[in-house]
Amino acid sequence: MNILKSTFSTKYNTAPFSKINTEDFKPAIIHCIEEAKSEIDTITNNEEAATFENTIEALEYSGEQLDRVTSIFFNLNSAETNEDIQKIAQEVSPLLSEFSNDITLNEGLFKRVKAVYDIKDTLNLTTEQQTLLDKKYKSFSRNGANLPEDDKQKLRAIDKELSQLKLKFGENVLAETNAFELLITDESDLSGLPEGAKEAAKQMAEAKGKQGWMITLDYPSYIPFMTYADSRALREQLSKAFGSKGFKNNDLDNQNIVLRIAALRYQRAQLLGYNTHAHFVLEERMAETPEKVQEFLNDLLEKSKPAAEREFKALENFANKLDGIDTLQKWDSAYYSEKLKQELFNLDDEKLKPYFKLENVIDGAFETATKLFGLHFKEVNDIDKYHEDVLTYEVLNDDGDLVSIFYADFFPRPGKRNGAWMTSFKPQMVKNNVNERPHVSIVCNFTKPTKSKPSLLTFNEVRTLFHEFGHALHGMLADTTYPSLSGTNVYWDFVELPSQVLENWCYEKETLELFAKHYETGELIPMELVEKIKESATFNEGIQTLRQLSFGLLDMSWHGIDPTSITNVKQHEEKAFESTQLYPDVTSNCMSTAFSHIFQGGYSSGYYSYKWAEVLDADAFEYFKEEGIFNKEVANKFKDNVLSRGGTENPMTLYKRFRGQAPKPEALLKRAGLIS
């Protein structure tokens, strides 16, 4: 199959997964790089004076084919990888990093971009064109275009090494996850585990050709065991295996990789004239500076810590009273929290699960999008997919026009990394007067159906599905001219607003009535359970807030300082966690060595943005509640000013246009029960 093109002869120009051979990728990517280079040369060598059209727009639309092929390739590397794909990723990542540097360090090209930038006030540009021009200019100035030649070479070397280290970090985490198996042969060791989880564990063992029940570090296996299994010794074993990923001084150890990534990011920032990596990153964020982030995190810490300590004490007393536990350990956290929640609210996740059959929850998310934004989802079977589990949909508006293609991939498998994420296979843009519609995907890891039960979700998983679907709506409803400003291409601390705001609908009676029906009887979820879900929403919110803040503070501790003197990852981490620690430390465990968000993904100096976006989402949802959660007018304001506008304007400008005011943190603190 020849994948050397951005347009495929498929329905809606979708990716022809079944016709792509893994060995096609490397030559295709090399070919696309060469083609993109020649497009750049055409712009650079143009003898006409530089204009917005022949330089900035031409640059924006260059490399379209390369972007298309690499998005397909790297999405597969996350969701359906194998050794061959990983090997190719290691080989092509430096080439892509080198090509990216070829652009930003190209003096002739930068001269033309700067020539347009210098006369921008005379060009009568639209707001979106101004944003694009600023973004293109900064992509050069922030990535070394003004550096002397020897420093440019240093930058190239740093970027090349970073691209390989980040991949290696992720591969090690995935390999450690896949390497661990807890085979249980004595059924009494499964005491407390729900029937569905036992059945899934039996199925997993059978799939591996073994007798008994198998527990793995994949979330659908790990989380139920940590939440319900009565065997404290086995919970400890599992927790230590989970917490020691990349921290075993073996071939898959990530300690030196963490130290090297942090040091290289710092060197890179210094080379570009920034104090630290965080200063570099935050210049392009709503938060603007590391000082503001620290202030934001510390302010929330001060407000949530007393509640967290009270909650922790209550949990400790409860565990002591129930089982005589003197010291609560990390592997007791989910177990006793669940037991205490059941006692306080008489709310058992297992009793809720029959009302959350995956297919019904998907329909509920779709129905929510229909009521809010007039979208209609039609499952189709004539679009190619990369795995049989993937579901494919046409997304249409009220007039029957195509809005987006949507892929949904819900179950764990060996070639897929843990967690949940949204991504895209093709961006939205307007080119040659045609509004190209996006191809959007969400990837999750939910419990697979068993022989006797469909896939039944915990309430937490329902929230996860709505969260990723919120990101997907941001991608689907994109309506901008330029691909680099489209959909989720926004400031990183704004990107979580659409996803986190949609989670709020899960708690509302009007939404739950759309889909929370018992999978066997069709009975609607009893309203007292809905009330309990709402009541329990703030259960242990202080502890949860402290946990999120600890991750944000750890991130800043690696990236908001000069990390070059750090030699011991574990010791550094302990210091970063001092102000947020509730549980005793576990010597064999380390967070940083498996903290993929910041060492593999795009969240370095940005983990705080989850909490930042919570302030926005609580404030935004307050507006919906004032007017009615399915109020069309508010939904249209959200669609027109946030979801469809992408990164075309400063996010605070967009937010204020939707809300009529700046966000207030009180809404979040009130919702979390941290203030009355």
Question: For residues 586 and 634, what is the distance between their CA atoms, to the nearest angstrom?
Answer: 48
N- to C-terminal Cα separation, the chain: 62
Using CA atoms, how far residue 107 sits from 59, 143, 145, 202, 372, in Å, is 14, 12, 7, 61, 48
Write out the DSSP string of 608-642: THHHHHHHHHHHHHHHHHHH-TT-HHHHHHHIIII
* Helix, strand, or coil (residue 318): helix
How many Å is the maximal CA-CA distance in the chain? 81
For the beta carbon of residue 637, count every other beta carbon within 10 angstroms.
17
Catalytic residue (one of 35, 350, 394, 468): 468
Closest alpha carbon to 546 in 459, 590, 611 = 611
Burial state string for 355-380 with b = 16 or more CB within 10 A and e = fewer than 16: bbbbebbbebbbebbebbbbbebeee
Strand partners, 434: 431
Identify the H or E element spanning 184: strand 182-184
Q: Where are the alpha helices (DSSP H) in 245-332?
A: 255-271, 277-282, 290-323
468 is catalytic: yes
Q: Please identify which residue in the block is written with the tokens 């609560």.
A: 328
CA 344 to chain centroid, in Å, comes to: 32
Phi, psi of 402 (to 5 degrees): -70, 125
Distance (Å, whole) CA 503 – CA 465 = 9
The Cβ of residue 335 has, within 10 Å, a number of other Cβ atoms equal to 22
Q: Please give the positions annotated as active site.
A: 468
